[in-house]
Amino acid sequence: MTDQVRIALLNVSKRFGDDTAVDGLSLAIAPGELCVLVGTSGCGKSTTLRMINRLIEHSDGQIHIDGQPIREINEQALRRRIGYAIQSTGLFPHWTVARNIGLVPRLLKWPNERIQKRTRELMQLLGLKEAEFAGKYPHQLSGGQAQRVGVARALAADPDILLMDEPFGALDPITREALQNELIRLQARLKKTIVFVTHDMEEAMKLADRIVVMDGGKVVQQGSPQDLLMAPENAFVESLLGGRDRGLKQAGLIPVRDVMHPTGARRQTTAAAVSADDNLRGALSLMLLNRLSSLTVVDERDRTVGTLGVDDIMHRKNLLPAASAKPTNSSANQPASKPAPRSDDGDAPEAKAKVQGVSTDRAEKMSPHQGSEPHHEE
Amino acid sequence: MRSDPAILGDSDLLAWRHWAAPLGWFAALGVLLVAMPHLGALFAAIDPEAREPIYRRDPFIDLLANHLLVVAGASSIAIVSGVSAAIMVTRPWGRDFLPLVSQLASIGQTFPPVAVLALAVPWLGFGGLPTVVALVLYGLLPIVRNTLVGIGEVDPSTREAARGMGMSPSQVLWQLELPLAAPVILAGIRTSVTVGIATAAIGSTIGAKTLGDPIIAGIINGNTAYILQGAILIGVLALFIDSVFARLLPSQR
Ligand SMILES: Nc1ncnc2c1ncn2[C@@H]1O[C@H](COP(=O)(O)OP(=O)(O)OP(=O)(O)O)[C@@H](O)[C@H]1O
Ligand SMILES: [Mg+2]
């Protein structure tokens, strides 16, 4: 069982005095999975996250990493092998960007040349120009840049596990989207096991292999974004999912490519074009905007590859992506019996990486790496 | 910390123009020490009634050296004990003692040094030792207070990140808290030392040889010239030391 579960929480509780912040929580996270904890403020998301790296000691239950109870691992050693990124970044204000990124490798006593090499690699990975940023201090960075440095620092010692507590929470929507895209791109390449906390359901749906909805320290529902949209457990989950916008959100998870008619089937070109990598939500929006009932579908080089009519969207039997899409983890409590998400499904992350809606261009400008071709993972 | 602009303001800390003020005061002090004994005419004019216009019981240079020794001793003790006490009470295991320590430091400062001297003499006899004790008590508060403030001002999320990255408590202290608190701690030390230089003069009342000697003698003999000589030297010494600290602290830009 242990090679299929990287992080296991078994009936974990945390009490602060008389308050119960986390109440009998069980969770099993598979290697390579991106698991997003969502819920309203104070529901225990951060507490759960911080119990995993022992910044908070759990009161009850057991937490295992790779099958080993975390209490058996020296807490500093444990934390050095788990990346940690938080909303306020927590960069050391008196250290340069390069030194901040090299923090954990230095704690691990890597030789200097190796630290420098790694720092350089990470700055490149996160689109921070070394010449420009290496010598800067945190107060000289924008919020988005600081967050990139925070993520680079978390990745520095190449940990298997990454804990992220609302890392993009304090950013403007465009920068946030750029960084979300970047995270998807990184994850497709690095395949870390990520526990990501947010209270933004859009963000959760965009990033998650599995969403864990929490309320009052308990898990209300967990499953893939599609699972949740198709069958919200109760009114609370439904309201988190955006109530009336659910239909649109669901459409936002389906790539145009999966629904369109490839060119040749129906040869009519229209004034407006949608990217094959965009999603149905973006397509619908474009139709509404241009008062059109069908769109031309183009690929990344603007070549026509198909058409998409409003009927194609409506007449799909259900809006669940076909079996070709990534597997869901509705029975996520026993992921041992399930294949690790994504690991058997090389296409999914790339398809996802390009689901960007109409603001793709702007997002690309903010993230230098976005523009590069998607096939650069070795 | 060597190349840390947050603390040292300028990377070219050693550039000599930055040291103009301290060097200037140092030169003034030297000139005064040499010239003072030859200014009999001037001081006679200031206080015509004085029988002897220049204080000659001990050379000024001896008084100055001893004065500095007393202050240096007291300040070293105050810095080491003040900073460590403040560090201890900001650790999780020492937090219970925080109110006690800050109260003790406040009491130390509100208690007049003269009273400390009077109380200490029966125990420690006359001379430098009771003076050092009085100065230590008097100088602790600014150091303790500023160390507490400096460490307290470190952003909790930075501290959390440091722990979350796997830094040990002592690494958090030495690599994060102390470097960030250093300017504030240094400011506290500056206040403590500067005040100490002025206060050390009272040691002369119980037989410590300090620059307070001419002042006490002047008061006893009604010799204003003596008082002035002691006061000028103490003042210039304090300004010199203060200007050195001003250089070490980041400039207000
Ligand atoms: N160190 C602490 N001491 C006492 N109570 C705490 C502590 N940390 C968290 N709590 C309490 O535990 C509960 C859960 O807090 P937590 O920070 O996990 O919430 P959250 O889901 O992350 O919320 P948010 O979205 O606002 O960050 C809250 O009621 C909070 O007041
Ligand atoms: Mg939180």
Q: Which of A303, A65, A45, A326 is nearest to A198 (CA)?
A: A45
Contacts of B155 in chain A (CB under 8 A): 88, 90, 93
Which of B161, B168, B175 is closest, CB to CB, to A90? Answer: B161
Q: Spell out the residues 6+ positions from residue A290 whose beta carbon is closer than 8 angstroms to its own.
A: A271, A272
CATH class of A7-217+336-362: alpha beta
Q: What is the pLDDT of residues A324-336, one digit of tens each?
A: 333 344 433 433 3
Between B252 and B212, name the one with better pLDDT: B212
- The alpha carbon of residue A53 is apart from the nearest alpha carbon of chain B, in Å, by 7
Q: What angle do CA B171, B176, B179 make, to 5 degrees?
A: 115
The confidence score (pLDDT) of residue A316 equals: 64
Q: Which class would CATH give A255-314? A: alpha beta
Given an 8 Å threshold on Cβ–Cβ distance, is B165 in contact with A89? no
Type and span of the H or E element at A304: strand A304-309
Which chain B residues have a beta carbon less than 8 Å from that of A84?
161, 164-165
Domains of chain B: 3-49+57-252 (1.10.3720.10)
Q: Number of CB pairs < 8 Å for A and B?
A: 63
Q: Is the CB of A45 under 6 A from ligand 1?
A: yes
pLDDT at A3: 54
Closest CB to A86 among B6, B160, B175: B160
* Contact assessment for residue B141 and residue B172, using Cβ atoms and an 8 Å cutoff: no
CA torsion B120-B122-B127-B128 (nearest 10°) is -30
Contact A198 CB / ligand 1 (< 6 Å): no
Q: Which residues pair with A222 in a beta bridge?
A: A212
Q: Which residues of B touch A91 (CB under 8 A)?
A: 158, 161
Ligand 1 atom 2, closest CA: A16
pLDDT for the residue numbered B35:
87
Q: What atom in ligand 1 is closest to the CA of residue A40? A: 25
Nearest ligand by distance to the CA of A200: 1
Sign of the Cα torsion A36, A39, A41, A46 reads negative
Q: Which of A40, A46, A195, A212 for mutating ligand 1's site (highest number of atoms within 8 Å of CB)?
A: A46
Q: For residue B208, what pLDDT is reported?
A: 87
Give Cβ neighbours of residue B184 (< 8 Å, ≥ 6 apart). B146, B147, B149, B150, B153
Average model confidence (pLDDT) across chain B: 87
Q: Does residue A195 belong to the interface with chain B, where contact is any CB pair within 8 Å?
A: no
Residue with tokens 């600081």: A146
For residue A39, the ligand 1 atom closest to its alpha carbon is 21
Residue in this structure with the two tokens 């004994």, named with its chain if needed:
B37
* Probe site for chain A from B165, B178, B184 (most A CB atoms < 10 A): B165
A91: contact with B, CB 8 A cutoff: yes
CA pair distance B114, B118, nearest whole angstrom: 6
Pocket of ligand 1 contains residue A199 by CB under 6 Å: yes
A246 lines ligand 1 (CB under 6 A): no
Give the pairing of strands A273-275 and A294-298: parallel
Q: Can you tell me the distance from the alpha carbon of A152 to that of A125, in angstroms, rounded to the nearest whole number?
A: 8
C-beta separation of A370 from A182 below 8 A:
yes
pLDDT at B37 over 50: yes
Q: Decide: helix, strand or coil at residue A296.
A: strand
Q: Is A60 helix (H, G, I), strand (E, B) or coil?
A: strand
pLDDT in tens, A72-104: 999 999 999 999 999 999 999 999 999 999 999
Condensed to tens digits (0 to 9), the pLDDT of residues B10-24 reads 455 666 777 888 899
Average pLDDT over residues B145-151: 94
Domain boundaries, chain A: 7-217+336-362, 255-314
Nearest CA in chain A to B161: A90
Mean pLDDT of B100-110: 84
Average pLDDT of the segment spanning B181-191: 94
Query: Best interface-test mutation with B: which of A46, A76, A153 has the largest number of B CBs within 10 A?
Result: A76
Instruction: Give the separation between CA A274 and CA A344, rounded to whole angstroms.
Output: 29
Residue B7 above 60 pLDDT? no
Question: How far apart are alpha carbons B112 and B116 in whole angstroms?
Answer: 7
The pLDDT score that the predictor gives to residue B13 is 62
Is B58 an 8 Å CB contact of chain A? no
Name A59's Cβ contacts closer than 8 Å, sequence gap at least 6. Answer: A13, A14, A15
Dihedral sign (CA A220, A226, A229, A230) = negative
Min distance A242 CA to chain B CA atoms (Å): 31
Instruction: Specify the length of chain A in residues.
Output: 378
* Chain A contact for B163 (CB, 8 A cutoff): yes
A217 within ligand 1 shell (Cβ under 6 A): no
A7-217+336-362 and A255-314 in the same fold: no
Do residues B237 and B67 touch, judged by C-beta distance below 8 A? Answer: yes
ipTM of the complex: 0.82
CA-nearest residue of chain B to A103?
B165
pLDDT of residue A264: 56
- Check CB contact under 8 Å for B180 and A86: no
Contact B164 A84 (CB under 8 A): yes
Find chain B residues with C-beta within 8 A of A143's C-beta.
none
Closest ligand 1 atom number to CA of residue A217: 14
Mean pLDDT of B187-193: 94
Specify the amino acid at residue A38: V
Residue A152 touches partner B, C-beta closer than 8 Å: no
A46 Cβ below 6 A of ligand 1: yes
Q: Which residues are A275's β-sheet partners?
A: A298
Q: How many CB atoms lie within 10 A of CB A355?
A: 23
Length of chain B: 253
Banded model confidence at residue B117, pLDDT cuts 50, 70, 90: confident
Residue type, position A94, single letter: H
Secondary structure class of A83 (helix, strand, coil)? strand
| Residues in chain A within 8 Å Cβ distance of B153 | none
Per-residue pLDDT of chain A (378 residues; tens, 9 = 90+): 445 899 999 999 999 999 999 999 999 999 999 999 999 999 999 999 999 999 999 999 999 999 999 999 999 999 999 999 999 999 999 999 999 999 999 999 999 999 999 999 999 988 899 999 999 999 999 999 999 999 999 999 999 999 999 999 888 888 898 899 999 999 999 999 999 999 888 899 889 999 999 999 999 999 998 888 888 888 888 888 877 777 788 788 888 888 888 875 445 566 788 888 888 888 898 888 888 888 888 888 888 888 888 888 877 654 444 333 333 444 334 333 333 344 333 343 333 333 333 333 333 333 444 334 444 433
Interface of A with B in 118-147 (CB under 8 A): 137
